[in-house]
Structure 1
């Protein structure tokens, strides 16, 4: 695993794109603070940049670095979630501008997967995490279902967990800084 983390971090530092296993489905990722890398993800997915992408962080301390105002209820949601849960936050800081939604929000998930946590900690910044498909196409449920276009469009494919099947996208909720919770995707 350590070699894969080192290889992935090298690609991320160079502004490249990764294809990597996450705590949900296989994802396309890049440095969430690098606008040029984020633009490459939108181009590969053929996705309009007005449609925001998700970021992964390994833990709450990194989350707090990029989201200065977090409602208290958020900590309970993170601690008590029984499946991967992405939360949309208001007013992110230090993130590539083309990753932030037009309403100044950002979707972030605290990754539960050991590989993702170790990778992001070593890299030291959040990663983009978007499903490994062209926009509008079905989300691949396994590595074997990822299209050649995606495989050829990234700079590095992590060689771990390729045999895993049945990943599901995370649930998504919005928690405003005043604590109002709204379910976006169950």
Structure 2
């Protein structure tokens, strides 16, 4: 995706409500437009993931996440931990804005969000102008794909665009922490 035409093709896929595959800090992710219910439902169907589990949003900056997060509910004493960890591979579960759709939050009144430091994802979010849904590229309960070839074999035409750029080098998916309590959901 190092050239502009590839970036443009990935953005076009997102704008059309399609699902793309892209590299993140540690694993390949499946992503789509978080505001497009049909796109999110398609992603959940591809992954065989129940909507009740909720999804992660990945962004270039915190401003892109403000539409989905109830920022007023974040205590001042928690903000330093959150904002000092970004950009990076730390996902925070925060209070969701009342307007955040259930197809993103699932059964929860929270939303999992991350400001990434992965250059490819940053460029995608900058060009798209908002965050992406970000979930590991695998069928629920199975191992994550480790290459573009493996992803294409597993997902074929279900994924409209494959962003063929390197992973970020982390060995584990992002840590997920509760912004209110600090409890670790995934370490």
- TM-score normalised over the length of structure 1: 0.86
The answer as to 2:105 corresponding to 1:100 is: yes
Question: Which position in structure 2 is the counterpart of 1:172?
Answer: 176
Cα distance in 1 for partners of 2:99, 2:130 equals: 10
- RMSD over aligned Cα, in angstroms? 2.3
Question: Which position in structure 2 is the counterpart of 1:118?
Answer: 123
Out of 22, 25, 41, the position equivalent to 1:23 is: 25
How many Å apart are 1:52 and its aligned residue? 1.4
- TM-score normalised over the length of structure 2: 0.86
Question: Which position in structure 1 is the counterpart of 2:95?
Answer: 90
How many Å apart are 1:65 and its aligned residue? 3.4
The answer as to 2:3 corresponding to 1:33 is: no
Matched-pair contact (CA < 8 Å) for 2:25–2:169: no
Q: Which moved more, 1:73-82 or 1:127-136?
A: 73-82
Q: Which moved more, 1:62-71 or 1:23-32?
A: 62-71
Gaps of 5+ in 2: none
How many Å apart are 1:83 and its aligned residue? 5.3
Matched-pair contact (CA < 8 Å) for 2:27–2:173: yes
How many Å apart are 1:148 and its aligned residue? 1.8
How many positions carry a matched residue from both structures?
182
How many Å apart are 1:103 and its aligned residue? 2.2
Gaps of 5+ in 1: none
